[in-house]
């Protein structure tokens, strides 16, 4: 049955005509022991035609995901740095929907592959939707947005073999070394989270929190798992991928069903605009973190996931998220990757779902929408603003003044460079040292060796070793020795087909 406002137990066509049953072709005619079909059997034709059209375009990235609903509850006062309605007022709760995904693999892939996880959240505030489109790692691979398509292509199947390629992966990263910091997270222990409940989320980008009095602060947003951080070994991740490929999705759903509701503490790092020049940081560069010693976390509230989707397609697959969705009190920074994403995400949604994707129930804001200059288009199932004029400056319509004025933040530093310098290796070097304190260096090297040993392009492996040697000379030498040993062993004992 379709989702109608009227309950019915009678099968109908999608135009509403009642049918006696839905499991046989009514147009089947029998004559002299034979049978033939009639195209007048509307139920059969509609069933076959709809089946060929059930799929919408898969997301180019973030295709495989789990989703849930929940709420954000404000627990701490940050009204001194923002007027964002949903972030101010202790005890205030805001409804949200979230989608947590792998990045590179296709929709039918396994959940436990080594990959960055995307984490998108739509807050349905009383002043419109506010989206956070984050990752589970605090830094990103690039800082120049023109590289974004190429980054993702290098992680996807090779155009000839249609299989993942270490050659493409390392060819990209060797020649775009600003992503070295993220590689340390990807090939470290956090590259394969045990569950979606046991991982953090990070904005990567710098945002601006504003107040109507003209003051503003730069912020980075953190979602810290109250379940703690748990990860999978390579062996466990591979076993689960082969036995329960939807493990992360099912784990999240089961936890919510059983009342074991996952929660995250929402916190921010803040920076005064006046301190930016002396911070030593490129604050619009998503490949860098802000040291917690200088910029400690400040708590906002708690996110709780408490409701599973009743239908994955309508509530999660059709859900759209964009960094461009911001409410009063929040602005984008001059981060070029953030600026580019603000165009790319809504554009992808228009391609996948059509010009009116915002009016799908899972995406529609809870407050009233009045945007008569954006009307018509395919699948418009609203009243289309009736007779309201659809041109700017109309004086004969019902619109009254009182909308949000454009916010202007003056004297905003806008320094950007995509050149790679020694500075790009400082934070990864510190992370490598921290790994040593935690005993994680050996596992990191093993993870790298397993991937880099698959590189077949002549000279490329040596470039990978040189890349990591810029972080630490001993790391580069160790990676080379262990990788070349594995390559030699593989040459002596080539893998046999599973059929032998």
By annotation, the residues acting in catalysis are 62, 135
What are the backbone angles phi and psi of residue 155, rounded to the nearest 5°? -95, -5
Q: Are strands 128-135 and 65-74 parallel, antiparallel or unpaired?
A: unpaired
Q: Which two tokens stand for residue 355?
A: 């010009």
Query: In Å, what is the CA distance from 197 to each residue of 4, 315, 358?
Result: 35, 20, 28
DSSP state at residue 370: -
- Determine the longest span between alpha carbons in the chain, in angstroms: 93
8-state DSSP, 316: I
* Strand ranges for 26-102 from DSSP E: 29-31, 34-36, 65-74, 93-102
Would you put residue 209 in left (φ > 0), alpha (ψ -120 to 50) or beta? beta
Q: How far apart are CA 78 and CA 192, in angstroms?
A: 34
277 in Cβ contact with 324 (< 8 Å)? no
User: Which two tokens mark 258?
Assistant: 């059983």
Phi, psi of 377 (to 5 degrees): 85, 165
C-alpha–C-alpha distance, residues 153 and 144, integer Å: 16
> Hey, what are 330's tokens?
């929040």
CA 243/CA 256 separation, integer angstroms: 22
Q: Which tokens hold the place of 332?
A: 């984008």
Give residue for tokens 């790679």. 420
Distance of CA 210 to the CA centre of its chain: 25
In the block, tokens 């604050």 appear at: 283
| Three-state DSSP class for residue 280 | coil
- Do 353 and 377 form a contact (C-beta atoms < 8 A)? no
Burial of 129 per CB tally in 10 Å (0-12, 13-18, 19+): buried
For residues 345 and 338, the answer to whether their CB atoms sit within 8 Å is no
DSSP-derived secondary structure letter, 193: B
Please report which helix (H) or strand (E) contains residue 132, including its range. strand 128-135
Give Rg (Cα) of the chain: 26
């Amino acid at each position: 049955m379709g989702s109608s406002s009227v309950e019915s137990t009678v099968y109908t066509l999608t135009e509403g005509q009642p049918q006696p049953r839905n499991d046989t072709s009514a147009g089947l005619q029998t004559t002299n022991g034979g049978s033939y079909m009639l195209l007048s059997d509307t139920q059969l034709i509609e069933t076959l035609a709809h089946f060929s059209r059930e799929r919408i375009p898969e997301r180019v990235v973030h295709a495989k995901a789990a989703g849930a609903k929940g709420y954000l509850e404000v627990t701490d006062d940050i009204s001194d740095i923002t007027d964002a309605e949903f972030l101010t007022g202790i005890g205030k709760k805001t409804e949200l929907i979230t989608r947590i995904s792998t990045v590179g693999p296709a929709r039918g892939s396994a959940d436990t592959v080594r990959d960055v996880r995307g984490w998108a959240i739509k807050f349905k505030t009383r002043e419109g939707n506010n989206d956070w489109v984050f990752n589970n790692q605090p830094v990103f691979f690039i800082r120049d947005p023109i590289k974004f398509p190429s980054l993702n292509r290098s992680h996807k199947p090779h155009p000839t073999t249609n299989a993942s390629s270490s050659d493409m992966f390392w060819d990209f990263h060797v020649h775009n070394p600003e992503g070295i910091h993220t590689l340390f997270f990807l090939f470290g222990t956090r590259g394969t989270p045990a569950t979606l409940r046991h991982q953090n989320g990070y904005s990567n980008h710098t945002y601006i929190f504003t107040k109507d009095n003209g003051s503003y602060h730069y912020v980075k947003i953190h979602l810290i798992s109250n379940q703690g951080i748990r990860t999978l070994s390579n062996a466990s991740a591979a076993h689960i991928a082969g036995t329960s490929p939807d493990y992360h999705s099912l784990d999240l759903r089961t936890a919510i069903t059983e009342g074991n509701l996952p929660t995250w503490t929402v916190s921010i790092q803040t920076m005064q605009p006046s301190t930016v020049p002396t911070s030593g940081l490129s604050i619009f560069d998503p490949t860098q973190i802000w040291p917690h010693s200088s910029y400690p976390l400040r708590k906002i509230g708690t996110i709780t996931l408490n409701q599973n989707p009743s239908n994955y397609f309508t509530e999660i697959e059709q859900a759209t998220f964009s960094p461009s969705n911001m409410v009063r009190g929040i602005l984008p920074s001059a981060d070029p990757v953030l600026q580019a994403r603000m165009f790319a995400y809504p554009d992808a949604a228009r391609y996948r779902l059509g010009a009116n994707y915002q009016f799908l129930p899972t995406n529609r804001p809870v407050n009233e929408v009045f945007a008569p200059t954006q009307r018509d288009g395919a699948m418009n199932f609203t009243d289309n603003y009736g007779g309201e004029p659809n041109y700017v400056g109309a004086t004969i319509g019902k619109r009254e003044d009182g909308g949000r004025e454009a916010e202007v933040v003056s004297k905003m530093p806008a320094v950007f460079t995509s050149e790679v310098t020694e500075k790009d290796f400082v934070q990864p070097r510190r992370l490598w040292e921290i790994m040593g304190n935690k005993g994680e260096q050996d596992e990191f090297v093993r993870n790298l060796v397993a991937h880099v040993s698959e590189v077949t392009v002549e000279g490329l492996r040596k470039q990978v070793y040189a890349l990591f040697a810029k972080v630490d000379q001993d790391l580069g030498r160790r990676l080379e020795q262990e990788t070349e040993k594995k390559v030699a062993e593989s040459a002596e004992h080539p893998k046999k087909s599973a059929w032998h």
